[in-house]
Chains A and B, each alone.
Chain A
Amino acid sequence: MVLRWLKRLVVLLLGDTQADRVVPPAGYTARLSLFSAAAMSFLAVFAMAMSLATGRLADRWGAELARTSTLRISAPPEQMAAQTEAALRVLETTPGVKRARPLSDEEQRDLLAPWFGPDLPVESLPIPRLIEIIETDDGYDAAGLRLRLSAEAPGAVLDDHTRWRRPLIAAAGALRTLGWVSILLIAGTVAAMITLAANAALAANAQVIAVLRLVGARDAYIAGAFVRRFTQRALAGASVGTVLGMGAIAMMPRADVAGGFLTGLGFQGLHWFWPLLIPPAAAAVAYVATRAAARRTLRELP
């Protein structure tokens, strides 16, 4: 059973030299379908790169942001030290908090420097004190922590980043979905183009099909000759397009240094195997599309 299917696959890819000759060699439409398969695969590589990269981005943001949060203490100067102490005590006894550390004046100054310049006299200004919280993998219960803080250190405000983290991660997730939808659309377009090309080829060869029917060829034989041709063409075109697309991605300048959103819009590690699936997928799409077109056309002929 498996062997038979393997054999059919080999025939599909290498062709049945006898049967393939019965369809006249086509020039122009063949090159068109080759080109469109290549172009679509090229685009598919980019859509895939975008999906994988935004997926990575969403994961990383989620992971990084989830594990740190900030406690901001705003209190009159004379209470600042006491409240900071109290808040730290609360944090130390909170399950899910790995480490809590008040930022030093230096660090606070560095944080504010972009807005106020380096000479800001942090000590003498009523600037809130920041406490950095590093969470364990399990995280802590933010609502519970807030409740306890409000009793012990009323000036403490917990900023667990979720407020601005969520929409960003959601955006990255949406972008990833958009990428996969693009790939589906590209597959649909390939199917549509191959169907059009196959229909044109079938119509142009109506005479050939009639002769084949007259001498006793079954529909499967006739359809097979067309299906093989278009499948091979799609495979060849898609391979070229995919290789070019992967080459283009590989040659893209690394944006990592600059950091930010563009970070690694490309394939990383094992992700390089993903685009290799495009040519077989294109061939499969062409196979199904041509088969359907051929069967439909043949059924209407005498």
Chain B
Amino acid sequence: MIELENVAYSYGGGELLSDVSLELSSGSFHFLTGPSGAGKTTFLKLCYGALIPTAGQVRLFGGDVRDMGRDDIALMRRRIGVVHQDCQFLDHMPVADNVALPLMVSGHEDADQIENLRELMGWVGLNARADALPPELSGGERQRAALARAVIMSPDVVLADEPTGNIDWEMSQRLLQLLIELNRMGKTIMIATHDLNLIRAAKSQVEARVLRISQRRVQLAGAAL
């Protein structure tokens, strides 16, 4: 699905990530941890083509990101659901429409999907806030909406950047459950998080691997957790 080969990335100063080689295979479940500023968000951006590696190669669904045209990138993003750390929404449209946005822009908005949307909004506990505008939501509500938007297209891969940063334990369990369900349906999941409890809770239910960024490398953490 997503392959990195000797990838390095630098924003202009020194290299933030060096010599990263990794393959996210179909149906795998990964956590990504590391101190703040280590490069978790940067790593995820490399995984969905928002950043082009300064060295090495990133292949998404078999295609090298460097060779992808703008339309290829757009089509590829429909297959990768992303929960952004700073959940980005269209502030002039209600939450429900924001969640349905991927359907809208890909022309898949039909009755089936509308039903899907209602169910999904219920799952993340946002039915009552469906008509609110994004700026009117709490931080946690925004994150739940972002997760709903990431999964609405039923993508092959879900990349979630701190999806539970602002929400209580019960709700984060609920979101985790959603991601685990998706993983059981064969989706590839990667969650960047600081929350060790979340990782532990997941490990009891799925076979999850933990990647840690330290000293510019992305390494598989032992089973120590």
Against B, the Cβ 8 Å flags (1 = close, 0 = not) of A201-213 are 0000001101111
A:1-54 near B, CB below 8 Å: 18-19, 21-22, 24-25
A:255-302 near B, CB below 8 Å: 298-299, 302
Contact of A221 with B by CB under 8 A: yes
Given A19-B104, A22-B104, A22-B105, A216 and B75 touching (CB < 8 A)? yes
B side interface size, CB within 8 A? 25
Size band of the interface chain A makes with B: 20 to 34
Please report the C-alpha to C-alpha distance between residue A212 and residue B104 in the assembled complex, in whole angstroms.
10
Nearest-Cβ distance from residue B96 to partner chain A, whole angstroms: 12
Please report the C-alpha to C-alpha distance between residue A24 and residue B78 in the assembled complex, in whole angstroms.
23
Please report the C-alpha to C-alpha distance between residue A188 and residue B191 in the assembled complex, in whole angstroms.
53
* A216 interface neighbour in B77, B89, B90, B93, Cβ under 8 Å: B77
Check A214 against B88 for contact (C-beta < 8 Å).
Answer: yes
Check A216 against B105 for contact (C-beta < 8 Å).
Answer: yes
Q: Which residues of B contact A216 (CB under 8 A)?
A: 74-78, 102, 105-106, 153
Check B77 against A214 for contact (C-beta < 8 Å).
Answer: yes
Contact of A99 with B by CB under 8 A: no
Q: Which residues of A contact B50 (CB under 8 A)?
A: 214, 302
Check A219 against B71 for contact (C-beta < 8 Å).
Answer: yes
Check A22 against B71 for contact (C-beta < 8 Å).
Answer: no
Q: Which residues of B contact A211 (CB under 8 A)?
A: 88-90, 101
Q: Which residues of A contact B78 (CB under 8 A)?
A: 216
Nearest-Cβ distance from residue A275 to partner chain B, whole angstroms: 38
Q: Which residues of A contact B70 (CB under 8 A)?
A: 218-219, 298-299
Contact of A217 with B by CB under 8 A: yes
- Binding site of A, secondary structure by majority: helix, strand, loop or mixed? helix
Nearest-Cβ distance from residue A147 to partner chain B, whole angstroms: 77
Nearest-Cβ distance from residue B167 to partner chain A, whole angstroms: 21
Q: Which residues of A contact B88 (CB under 8 A)?
A: 207, 210-211, 214
Q: Which residues of A contact B106 (CB under 8 A)?
A: 216-217
Please report the C-alpha to C-alpha distance between residue A302 and residue B75 in the assembled complex, in whole angstroms.
15
* B90 interface neighbour in A18, A19, A22, A298, Cβ under 8 Å: A22
Contact of A143 with B by CB under 8 A: no
Contact of B184 with A by CB under 8 A: no
* Closest residue on chain A to residue B88 by CB atoms: A211
Q: Which residues of B contact A22 (CB under 8 A)?
A: 90, 93, 101, 104-105
Q: Which residues of A contact B102 (CB under 8 A)?
A: 215-216
Against A, the Cβ 8 Å flags (1 = close, 0 = not) of B136-157 are 0000000000000100010000
Q: Can you list 20 contacts pairing A with B, beta carbon distance less than 8 Å?
A: A18-B104, A21-B93, A21-B97, A22-B104, A24-B90, A24-B91, A207-B88, A212-B90, A212-B101, A213-B74, A214-B82, A216-B76, A216-B105, A216-B153, A217-B105, A217-B106, A218-B75, A219-B70, A220-B71, A298-B70
A residues lining the B interface (CB < 8 Å): 18-19, 21-22, 24-25, 207-208, 210-221, 298-299, 302
- Beyond A212-B105, A299-B70, list 6 extra A-B contacts (CB 8 Å): A213-B74, A214-B77, A216-B102, A216-B106, A218-B71, A302-B50
Lowest 7 CB-CB distances: which A-B pairs, in order? A217-B105, A216-B77, A216-B78, A24-B92, A218-B74, A215-B102, A211-B88
